[in-house]
Structure 1
Amino acid sequence: MNSKSAIRIALLVALIPLLGGCSLFKSRSEWDKAAEARPLEIPPDLEAPPSRGELIVPQAGSGRPVAARGATGVDGLSVADTVDSTWERVGLALERAGDLGSISARDQASHTYSLTVTSKRTRDEGGFFKRLFTRKKVETVTETVNIGVSADGTGSRVSVSGAAASVQRVTALLRERLS
């Protein structure tokens, strides 16, 4: 075989993929044959914006306090006693629990207490190594917990609201002392 025919064969072998493109080596799967489907239709009642006020965020300075999600808690318990008697018993339990906090306000007419709860919490700062080699910061936190007593059937209902950690502490104390 001479060198001219070898060059022609080499050129012919090199030109075959160029003439046919990659379609010679491409498979024809169902994915390649798929056509675009028409877009989904949205029902007319879902296109309108919400018209009820339950999803509206209040404007800043509107007077309504807005708490962060998960930051507040509400709990309570039922007591088989009159509202007046339960309110007095709650007051005695709060006064005797000196390490829990102090009563900052009381209203006998509305059967409510406002309790200032002081607690110490540790806080980690920094990354892993900084937390490993430094002390935890201890901070004193003062929170207000509101306690109300209302009629509940033949007994009373004690409702506790405020910061979640403080609500748990106050509710645990009241469950222990009022049961």
Structure 2
Amino acid sequence: MRIGNVEREAAVRELGEHYAAGRLDAAEYEERTSAAYAARTAEDLAPLFVDLPRDQPTVAMAPQPTVAVPAQAGYDLEAPYGRDPVTGRPYSDRLKVIAALLQLFLPFGTGRFYTGHTGIAVAQLVLVLFGVGVVWSFIDGIVMLAGDPTDPDGRLLRP
């Protein structure tokens, strides 16, 4: 099986670790890295590690990329949109004013669809046929403006 640059680089990286640990001297390291860069198959890489301890298979897989979080003082991974200064609860990615205005001006559960409360939104939508849903949605919009509404995960909607 042919290998690519990713496998060659992984082998050279592993050889570098052995060199740093003192298992290889400079001449051996240079010789083996040259052979690793010249390798075409996984079988060509195997002899480079015969006399070295290995935790990995002959062909090392490329490391998976990770997302780096900026190293900022006070950055909270559990509350990327901040926390409520009074209660300390994390804020949602959705806005309270938008949800309330949707409930007031489109009174058939639109604001509840926006916040992610689909059960309540569907109930308001169905009850619009009987006239009750419009009143319920309107009152719900006022309560959203005056209260502390949450998203389905229990995070407060941002002010």
TM interval, short-chain normalised: under 0.3
Q: Normalised by the size of structure 2, how large is the TM-score?
A: 0.23
Q: Normalised by the size of structure 1, how large is the TM-score?
A: 0.21
Identify the structure with the greater helix proportion.
2
Q: Which has the higher contact order (CA 8 A, sep 6+)?
A: 1
